[in-house]
Amino acid sequence: MLNLKAIREDAEPFIAALKKRNASSEPIEQIISLDKQWRTLKQESDSLKADRNIHSKKINDAKKEGKDISDAIEKTRIISNRIKEMDEKASSLEARMNEILLTVPNTPHESVPLGKDESENVEVGKWGKPLKTSSDILPHYELGPKCGLMDFERGVKLAGSRFSVLYGELAKLERAISFYMLETASKNGYLEVAVPYIANTKALTGSGQLPKFAQELYALDGTDLWLIPTSEVQLGNLHADETLDEQNLPLNYCALTPNFRKEAGNYQKDIKGYIRQHQFNKVELFKYCLPDDSFNEHELLLKDAQSVLQGLDLPYRTMLLCSGDMGFASSKTYDLEVWLPSQDTYREISSVSNCTDFQARRANIKFRRDNKNEYVHTLNGSGLAVGRTLVAIMENYQEDNCILIPKALQGFMQSDKIEF
């Protein structure tokens, strides 16, 4: 959530930020209009409260002198009713401003390149050399069924489109990938957290998923609960309504969870295969830090996510997202894109974002410094999407009649290949 006080003081930077995102400035303009009404009501209400205090003193004085106070009491009652009416209107206006604020995205950092969509993202680095192309391998969605270890038809039978079943060594490989990612995160200084896979509305609002993305989430009918679209929701609300100790920051957390998103069906690409599922596993990395440190911590978080791909020896590139392609809560985002031979291109496998104080304002997470409370900054990144990593290994490590196991996973798998 943006800072309402800052918008009141100078709305122009926020209007400019929305334009940078190719978004309408109407929400800010609405807030400015509502805020003018709110301030007028507040001033009138404060003036009436001062009048009421004067009348109350006169009533008390008149009582002591034995005078008739009925007229004064009636005037005070009328003033009180008017104050109540004005305060209710002011409260309604304030609630409406907060509703609008919940729909406004975060402000892009000055280092974010201007652009309309993903075509204008900027490549800032590459690691590893792609060794295979579509002419060298079977795509994972053909290889998996061929070797009897990936079943899309039974996934549909059990839950519908965009659900899958893994068997045997491929199921074990996905588990090994997850374990490896958690172990890597732990070595990089992240505390592993086991969190609920269900979140309440407050938590989803705090992290920025609600109200904007309600149609893309799975709601549990008759409850205030939802299936989580990412463990960022839970990690980002661990300290909701808390004031953290400055000396304890940064706090680094990681979690492995299944994630549930309806949005997968909204895309016309990746219809086949395991790339875009309604349910998928992901290891999430999350940081709470001081505002002064957040962009440095962002670079460190990026390196931690990159280290997972490097440990698996998977070629990837790092993209700095332009203003038109960033997520709702992000102020600056890097995407890591892994090489997928079947598509002869790099595809996103991790998003690493600095959300500044945007989520902390929504979830009311502060720290105390110099006898004052300030909002922390929050950062999140995939470390990594497990299913997409599985796909990348199936394709990049594919040989005749087998999938080689990356060295980092051979200990978990107790094997150096999956034969078929």
Inform me whether the pLDDT recorded for 216 exceeds 60: yes
Best CA proximity match to 59, nearest among 71, 49, 72, 48: 72
- Cα gap 321→327, rounded to integer Å: 9
Amino acid in the structure at residue 348? E
Inform me whether the pLDDT recorded for 244 exceeds 80: yes
Residues in the chain: 420
Please state the rounded mean pLDDT for residues 106-134: 97
Report whether CATH 3.40.50.720 matches the domain 4-101: no
Domain ranges in the chain are 4-101, 118-419
- Cα gap 274→394, rounded to integer Å: 11
Pairing state of beta strands 377-385 and 279-289?
antiparallel
Contact between 60 and 52 (Cβ < 8 Å): no
- Where do the DSSP E strands lie in 59-190? 122-127, 150-151, 165-166
Contact between 328 and 105 (Cβ < 8 Å): yes
Quick: pLDDT tens for 175-212. Answer: 999 999 999 999 999 999 999 999 999 999 999 999 99
Angle at 308 between CA 274 and CA 287, to 5 degrees: 100
- Residue 371 backbone dihedrals phi, psi, to 5 degrees: 65, 20
Angle at 354 between CA 192 and CA 331, to 5 degrees: 155
- Cα gap 86→52, rounded to integer Å: 14
pLDDT of residue 54: 84
Cis peptide before 384 (omega within 30 of 0): yes
Angle of the 70-101 helix axis to the 26-64 helix axis, nearest 10:
160
CA-to-CA dists, residue 323 to 231, 266, 348, angstroms: 25, 22, 17
pLDDT of residue 267: 53
Cis peptide before 258 (omega within 30 of 0): no
- Cα gap 292→297, rounded to integer Å: 10
pLDDT of residue 53: 86
pLDDT of residue 324: 97
Q: For residue 369, list its beta bridge partners.
A: 372
Q: Which CATH number fits domain 118-419: 3.30.930.10, 1.10.4080.10, 1.10.10.10, 3.40.50.1110?
A: 3.30.930.10
Percent of the chain with pLDDT over 90: 90
pTM, to two decimals? 0.93
Number of H helices, E strands in the chain: 13, 18
As given in the structure block, the two tokens for residue 6 are 């800052």
Please state the rounded mean pLDDT for residues 368-397: 97
Inform me whether the pLDDT recorded for 266 exceeds 60: no
- Cα gap 264→246, rounded to integer Å: 39
Assign 268 a pLDDT band (cuts: 50, 70, 90): low
Assign 63 a pLDDT band (cuts: 50, 70, 90): confident
Please state the rounded mean pLDDT for residues 251-263: 95
As given in the structure block, the two tokens for residue 10 are 């100078």
- Cα gap 295→201, rounded to integer Å: 29
- Cα gap 145→166, rounded to integer Å: 10
Q: For 345-363, b where at least 16 C-beta lie within 10 A, e where not — what string?
A: ebbbbbbbbbbbbbbbbbb
Inform me whether the pLDDT recorded for 269 exceeds 70: no
Assign 264 a pLDDT band (cuts: 50, 70, 90): low
Contact between 208 and 329 (Cβ < 8 Å): yes
